Amino acid sequence: MAEGPVPFWRRLTNSAGLRDPDRNETATNATPFSPPVDRVSRPAAAPEPAETKVVDSEALLDIWFAREQDDVIVWRSCLPGASAAEIATRLSLVPAAFLADDVDVLQLAENILEIEYGASGTTPPDRRRQEVLRIADQVRATGSAAARRGAALVLWLWASDDLNGPLSVPLSPVYYGRAIAALSFRLAAVVDPAEWVRTADRRDEAARTFLLWSGHLPAGEDEATARSILAMRDSLEQNTALAQTMAEQEHRLQVTKRLQEARAREAAARYSNE
């Protein structure tokens, strides 16, 4: 008898180094996550592997800042979505394997995106799929275990429909790339993704950050309310040193934007005079 199609979760285990998810083993009740060992106390005979090297928070933030995201525009373009509590619940249900230091986010992304876009090689390249895969590869290239875990949690939020049913409001696929970048490079730079799962405030922060950069307002909240609550949670803004770096980046972005607008006005004026 012909074999049926390989189940989704089996494909993940085969290609991404994960074992079958156990509904009774999520990251919240699995063996507690062990943080990276301090380099000073690590024995010289056991050098840190390249694939789990410690990456400076500012290095991850530099990748995020290079995207030059304008959060004013992002907030104004948000549409109503699922509630922050619903996303937070999905985070709490993540299989523990998604928080492994060596989780293969590129393989994971390829398998999860296959549901949305079809198998690669059988369908024409999709711009949004390619963007997500490019960012997943960028995450892998950083060598940051925190960035990998952050990306894996975003991928779990996309894949969780297959195991836990659809969200009350479907996520817009338009901003998949932006969402995975925000949690991998912005949030993971200041809060270890393990805390997004185990700590209520950080779980709410991650859920709200995910909704924002996915292009959604939390259900039942207007822009002002959502902005206010996320601002209270925002670990980056509350980190004095890194907040200064972010403020400088935002200032540069605004200066660049004003220069671009001035050049556009000058070009329009020249065109009208010709």
Give me the mean pLDDT over the 103-116 stretch: 86
pLDDT classification of 113: cutoffs 50, 70, 90:
confident
- Share above pLDDT 90 across residues of the chain, in percent, rounded to a whole number: 47
Residue 194: both structure tokens together: 């393990």
pLDDT surpassing 60 at residue 224: yes
**Residue positions counted in the chain:** 274
- The pTM assigned to this predicted structure is 0.75
Q: Is residue 92 helix, strand or coil? A: helix
H or E element that contains 216: strand 216-217
- Tell me how crowded residue 125 is: count the other CB atoms within 10 A of its CB: 10
Q: Is residue 160 helix, strand or coil? A: coil
What pairs with residue 72 in β-bridges? Answer: none
Indicate the average pLDDT of the chain. Answer: 78
DSSP 274: -
Angle at alpha carbon of residue 31, lines to 202 and 87, rounded to 5°: 35
9-13, 47-51, 171-175, 198-202: which has the minimum mean pLDDT?
47-51
**pLDDT score recorded for residue 58:** 84
